[in-house]
């Protein structure tokens, strides 16, 4: 099966939209953001197609969004701290910011941070969150 046929087969049971060629990637990404799609994959047309592993000649551009969230606990680990809250969210905070966040939680019992996420589910839960900074 050729690459396009394999992708068409996958598309039948997913939310994939396959576009063979698109010259204006900036306009395409604006469309992705407007429709709240997850992102796009840009493929180097001169690269060989491989089904079994990721190529460094393909680029995934994700449509990340930001939100603010409170955290009231943390766990120390070898990379910094993992922030926790009553809703069950966990997010890694590393480097110099982790000490600042620890101090805020110890003093004020909670900290408001900016998170980045990829998708918000119908239930309201965020998927693929990451720490962006203290608000």
* Structure-token match 């203290």, residue found: 134
The predicted structure's pLDDT at residue 5: 72
Sign of the CA dihedral 117, 35, 32, 2?
Answer: positive
For 29, phi and psi rounded to 5 degrees? -70, -35
Q: Does residue 126 share a domain with residue 77?
A: yes
Region 80-106: what's the mean pLDDT?
Answer: 96
Tell me what the pLDDT averaged over the chain comes to. 87
DSSP label at 49?
A: P
The pLDDT assigned to 2 comes to 59
- 42 with 90, same domain: the answer is no
Which pLDDT does position 49 carry in this prediction?
65
If asked whether residues 72 and 36 sit together in one domain, one would say no
- pLDDT tens sequence across 3-53: 667 667 766 766 667 776 778 888 888 988 998 888 888 777 777 766 666
More confident residue, 86 or 2: 86
| DSSP alpha helix (H) spans, 43-108 | 96-108
Please name the residue that has the structure tokens 């939310």.
15
Tell which of 17, 39, 63 closes a domain.
63
Please report the pLDDT score of residue 4 as a whole number: 65
What's the confidence (pLDDT) of residue 25?
81
Same domain, 75 and 127: yes
Residue holding tokens 């019992």?
109
The reported pTM is: 0.74
**Closest of 64, 20, 18 to residue 39, by C-alpha:** 64
């Amino acid at each position: 099966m050729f690459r396009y046929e394999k992708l068409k087969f996958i598309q039948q049971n997913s939310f994939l939209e396959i576009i063979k060629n698109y010259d204006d990637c900036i306009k395409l990404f604006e469309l992705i953001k407007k429709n709240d799609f997850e992102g796009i994959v840009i493929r180097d047309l001169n690269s060989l197609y491989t089904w079994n592993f990721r190529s460094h000649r393909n680029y995934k551009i994700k449509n990340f969004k930001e939100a603010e969230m409170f955290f009231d606990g943390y766990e120390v680990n070898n990379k910094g701290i993992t922030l926790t809250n009553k809703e069950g969210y966990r997010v890694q905070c590393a480097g110099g910011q982790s000490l600042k966040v620890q101090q805020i939680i110890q003093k004020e019992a909670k900290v408001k941070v900016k998170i980045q996420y990829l998708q918000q589910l119908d239930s309201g839960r965020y998927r693929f969150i990451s720490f962006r900074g203290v608000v």
